[in-house]
């Protein structure tokens, strides 16, 4: 059935030159990303779902407990809200993991992934495309939250450049968490088991610099709060936005911007290869 | 692999982790432009076989070539030449039918414009134009299956894998799928189809491999397989229980083998070679014995019986969709 000449045709995917391969990875990932973004547009509940918790947190912690928290920390209500917003930005980035995991595990379960795997597309495109879509979704999240912050009196104080750098760090954190989510999605068997897992992770996202400084939590959880990847980003954002900060003594607090770069890069270095290997193993 | 072989497998073995042997040395050859049926009970290894050939699953030993390429050495070449329609619909539920097909076109690297026109062609061909822009989750099972099939045909594959393509479809949708498969084969596509419906294999397949517990236990054309369980049978239904004995005597004399008597159904069955002529003789003999029979019929062996004889179990266990027993 195959004569010599036809192999050349077959070489479309077979021309394994690096630049060509990379070109296909980008092009195919963009197609996959558009698919996930179309989901977001057609089923906005995912977006609303991720935003619900931080928006409620703004109301709850900003106003219901805000005065008390602010008083306890010696900041006052307005000061506490200024302190709070960067924490909520980062928390929202963390909650994105849930959407990613659920999307990946349901795709694998439904067999859509099977179809993708029989196409002559770049094998990594499904995962890369998902992470691209997540960055776009994260941008939407951030726009809504920044708008909300501005409404309740939160401001950036150190110029647009520093503010954009802070947003960049938040997006970097989201990309890193996305790959954690992708890996989890490839590991768990069903969306239900993923949910169970998240009820364990949920408190972990709270034990960070998000709502109170690490200095104010009990001594035995303080290291967790300090070395939580979320904390570095929260502290770095407070620094770059020029928001109220509670002078931290810890090493992470002293090197927040550096750690806000290191932590996501470490997570990426671990979870990108793990996810790719796991994806390949779907053929076992 | 010669030019008129579309699929060739030699000694395929697959153990899933956990020690289950899903394929136990399977050999298969499918001629180009033919329909080959993989028939077998639940757990026989049909899906495993199809997934191995479609580059979705690695295997432990053996070799396989599909559409001229080795599935292990050059999976990407295989992927450009095959279409795969899995046991469960693999289309995006949120996107519309059109967006689905366009997306798959892009991932086959057809380019934007070609993807768009190909999607339109397929929507027309699969009678989905009216619903093309609705989200797939609002589709009926039959529509979804048709879309799934269309998605497997975006690139006009040389080899198409269909894993239980009509399970759960009503007879009408099932007929539509069958005629689509016939159309494809007329156009030169090779089809490997798994099914638990014997009727489906009988109607569509040029050749059939019967699988059981990871092995091919019989191979041949539907006709050859039927011959393996012998010729036809005569069935005589009488009005009263007392007549059963006499009928059995007559049939034993004619057939030369002891008939089986089903008292509940008031029916006597016996093997009978010689077709219509032999049947006439049976009718005459019964008439001479002064018997007034309610019904008499000559039955050809069915693939169902072949299946039963080969695997020692009932074929179509679910038995939900028509056809069984009527052929
Ligand atoms: N992912 C898996 N892990 C472990 N064992 C598996 C897996 N998939 C299938 N098996 C086992 O391999 C054997 C063959 O399964 P397969 O799905 O190929 O059968 P099948 O003929 O397609 O059955 P069905 O008619 O039910 O679809 C079965 O014993 C099954 O339990
Ligand atoms: Mg199966």
pLDDT at B274: 67
pLDDT at A8: 34
**How close is the nearest chain A Cα to the Cα of B302, in Å?**
34
Contact B73, A6 (CB under 8 A): no
pLDDT at B40: 87
Strand-pairing partners, residue A202, are none
Whole-model pTM: value is 0.79
pLDDT at B205: 94
Main-chain phi, psi angles of B8, to 5 degrees: -140, 125
pLDDT at B207: 95
Q: Which residues contact A115 (CB under 8 A, 6 or more apart)?
A: B84, B86, B90, B91, B104, B151
Which of B15, B53, B106, B111 to probe by mutation at the A interface, max A CB count within 10 Å? B106
pLDDT at B312: 66
Q: Which residues contact B14 (CB under 8 A, 6 or more apart)?
A: B21, B22, B23, B45, B48, B52, B57, B59, B60, B214
Q: Is the ipTM of this complex over 0.90?
A: no
Question: Does residue B196 line the site of ligand 1, with CB under 6 A?
Answer: yes
Tens place of pLDDT for every residue, chain B, 327 residues?
Answer: 667 899 999 999 999 887 778 999 999 999 999 999 999 888 899 999 999 999 999 999 999 999 999 999 999 899 999 999 988 888 998 999 999 999 999 999 999 999 999 999 999 988 899 999 999 999 998 899 899 999 999 988 999 999 998 888 888 888 888 998 999 999 999 999 998 887 888 889 999 999 988 999 989 998 888 777 666 778 888 888 888 888 888 888 877 777 888 888 888 888 777 666 778 888 888 888 888 888 888 777 666 677 777 776 544 433 333 333 322
pLDDT digits (tens, 9 = 90+) for A221-255: 888 888 888 888 999 999 999 887 776 677 877 88
Selecting from B54, B88, B108 the residue whose C-beta is nearest the C-beta of A111 gives B88
Q: Which residues contact B189 (CB under 8 A, 6 or more apart)?
A: B33, B156, B157, B158, B159, B160
Q: Do A118 and B92 touch (CB under 8 A)?
A: no
B226 is written with which tokens? 């039927």
User: How do beta strands B190-195 and B207-212 pair?
Assistant: unpaired
Q: Which residues contact A65 (CB under 8 A, 6 or more apart)?
A: none
Strand-pairing partners, residue B271, are B233
Main-chain phi, psi angles of B207, to 5 degrees: -135, 155
User: DSSP 3-state assignment of B240?
Assistant: coil
pLDDT at A229: 87
Residue A1 has pLDDT above 80, yes or no: no
Rounded to whole angstroms, what are the CA distances from B213 to B24, B26, B209? 8, 11, 13
Ligand nearest to the CA of B196: 1
Cβ neighbourhood burial of B288 (10 Å; 0-12, 13-18, 19+): exposed
For residue B214, the ligand 1 atom closest to its alpha carbon is 14
**CA angle, residues B229, B230, B234, in degrees to nearest 5:** 115
Q: Please give the Cα distance from A198 to A196 (Å, whole number).
A: 5
CA A89 to ligand 1 centroid distance, Å: 46
pLDDT at B303: 65
Partners of residue B3 in chain A, C-beta under 8 Å = 1-3
Q: Do B90 and A112 touch (CB under 8 A)?
A: yes
Strand-pairing partners, residue B20, are B16
Which residue's CA is the closest to the ligand 1 atom numbered 16? Answer: B45
Give 3-state DSSP helix, strand, coil % of chain B, rounded to 5.
Answer: 40, 25, 35
Question: Does residue B44 line the site of ligand 1, with CB under 6 A?
Answer: yes
**How close is the nearest chain B Cα to the Cα of A247, in Å?**
48
CA atoms within 13 A on the CB side of B25: 1
Q: Which segments of B169-266 are extended strands (E)?
A: 190-195, 207-212, 215-220, 232-237, 260-262
User: How do beta strands B5-16 and B61-66 pair?
Assistant: antiparallel
Average per-residue pLDDT for chain A: 84
Nearest to A182 by CA among A133, A236, A225: A133
Partners of residue B107 in chain A, C-beta under 8 Å = 28, 31-32, 116, 119-121, 125
Q: Please give the Cα distance from A94 to A180 (Å, whole number).
A: 10
Cβ neighbourhood burial of B161 (10 Å; 0-12, 13-18, 19+): buried
Give CA A216 to chain center in angstroms. 26
Residues of B in CB contact (< 8 Å) with A are 1, 3-6, 17, 32, 51, 54-58, 67-69, 74, 76-77, 79-82, 84, 86-95, 99, 103-104, 106-109, 135, 151, 158
Q: Please give the Cα distance from A157 to B324 (Å, whole number).
A: 77
pLDDT at A16: 58
Residue A267 has pLDDT above 50, yes or no: yes
Q: Which residues contact B111 (CB under 8 A, 6 or more apart)?
A: none
DSSP string, B41-94: -TTSSHHHHHHHHTTSS--SEEEEEETTEETTT-HHHHHHHEEEE-SS--S-SS
Selecting from A28, A114, A120 the residue whose C-beta is nearest the C-beta of B76 gives A120
pLDDT at A10: 37
Q: Do B56 and A118 touch (CB under 8 A)?
A: yes
CA B42 to ligand 2 centroid distance, Å: 7
Q: Please give the Cα distance from A178 to A50 (Å, whole number).
A: 14
Q: Per residue in B289-314, is it b (16+ CB within 10 Å) or e — as a string?
A: eeeebeebebeebbbbbbbeebbeee
Ligand nearest to the CA of B56: 1
Q: Do B68 and A110 touch (CB under 8 A)?
A: no
Strand-pairing partners, residue B12, are B26
């Amino acid at each position: 059935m195959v004569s010599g000449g036809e192999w050349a045709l077959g070489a479309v995917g077979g021309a394994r030159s690096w630049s060509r391969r990379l070109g296909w990875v980008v092009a195919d990932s963009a197609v996959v990303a558009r698919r996930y973004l179309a989901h977001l547009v057609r089923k906005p509940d995912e977006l609303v779902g991720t935003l619900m918790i931080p928006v409620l947190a703004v109301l709850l912690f900003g106003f219901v407990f805000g005065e008390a928290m602010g008083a306890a920390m010696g900041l006052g209500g307005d000061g506490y809200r200024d302190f709070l917003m960067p924490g909520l930005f980062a928390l929202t980035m963390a909650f994105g993991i849930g959407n990613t995991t659920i999307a990946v595990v349901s795709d694998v379960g439904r067999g859509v992934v099977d179809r993708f795997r029989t196409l002559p597309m770049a094998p990594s495109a499904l995962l890369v495309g998902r992470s691209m879509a997540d960055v776009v979704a994260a941008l939407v999240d951030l726009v809504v939250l920044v708008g909300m912050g501005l409404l309740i009196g939160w401001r950036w104080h150190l110029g647009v450049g520093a503010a954009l750098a802070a947003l960049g760090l938040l997006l970097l954190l989201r990309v890193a968490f996305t790959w954690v989510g992708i890996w989890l999605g490839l590991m768990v068997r069903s969306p239900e088991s993923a949910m169970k897992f998240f009820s364990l992770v949920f408190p972990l996202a709270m034990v960070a610099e998000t709502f109170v400084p690490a200095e104010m939590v009990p001594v035995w959880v303080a290291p967790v709060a300090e070395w939580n990847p979320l904390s570095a980003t929260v502290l770095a954002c407070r620094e770059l936005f020029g928001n109220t900060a509670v002078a931290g003594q810890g090493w992470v607090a002293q090197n927040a911007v550096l750690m806000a770069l290191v932590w996501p890069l470490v997570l990426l270095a671990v979870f990108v290869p793990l996810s790719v290997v796991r994806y390949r193993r779907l053929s076992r | 692999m010669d030019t008129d072989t579309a699929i060739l497998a030699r000694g395929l073995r697959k153990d899933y982790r956990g020690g289950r042997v899903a394929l136990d040395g399977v050999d298969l050859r499918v001629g180009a432009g033919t329909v080959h049926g993989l028939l077998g009970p639940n757990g026989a290894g049909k899906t495993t076989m199809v997934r191995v050939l479609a580059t979705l699953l690695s295997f432990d030993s053996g070799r396989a070539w599909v559409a001229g390429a080795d599935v292990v050495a050059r999976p990407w070449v295989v992927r450009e030449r095959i279409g795969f329609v899995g046991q469960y619909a693999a289309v995006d539920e949120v996107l519309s039918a059109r967006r689905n097909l366009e997306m798959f076109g892009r991932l086959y690297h057809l380019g934007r414009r070609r993807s768009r026109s190909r999607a339109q062609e397929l929507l027309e061909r699969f009678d989905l134009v009216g619903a093309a822009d609705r989200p797939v989750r609002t589709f009926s099972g039959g529509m979804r299956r048709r879309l799934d099939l269309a998605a497997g045909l975006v690139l006009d594959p040389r080899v198409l894998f269909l894993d239980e393509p009509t399970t759960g479809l009503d007879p009408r949708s099932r007929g539509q799928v069958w005629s689509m498969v016939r159309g494809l084969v007329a156009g030169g596509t090779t089809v490997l189809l798994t099914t638990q419906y014997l009727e489906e294999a009988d109607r569509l397949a040029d050749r059939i491999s019967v699988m059981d517990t990871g092995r091919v236990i019989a191979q041949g054309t539907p006709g050859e397989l039927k011959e393996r369980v012998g010729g036809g049978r005569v069935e005589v239904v009488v009005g009263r229980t007392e007549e059963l004995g006499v009928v059995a005597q007559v049939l034993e004399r004619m057939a030369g083998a002891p008939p089986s008597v089903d008292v509940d159904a008031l029916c006597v069955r016996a093997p009978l070679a010689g077709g219509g002529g032999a049947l006439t003789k049976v009718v005459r003999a019964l008439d001479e014995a002064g018997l007034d029979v309610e019904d008499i019929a000559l039955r050809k062996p069915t693939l169902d019986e072949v299946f039963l004889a080969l695997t020692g179990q009932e074929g179509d266990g679910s038995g939900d969709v028509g056809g069984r027993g009527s052929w």
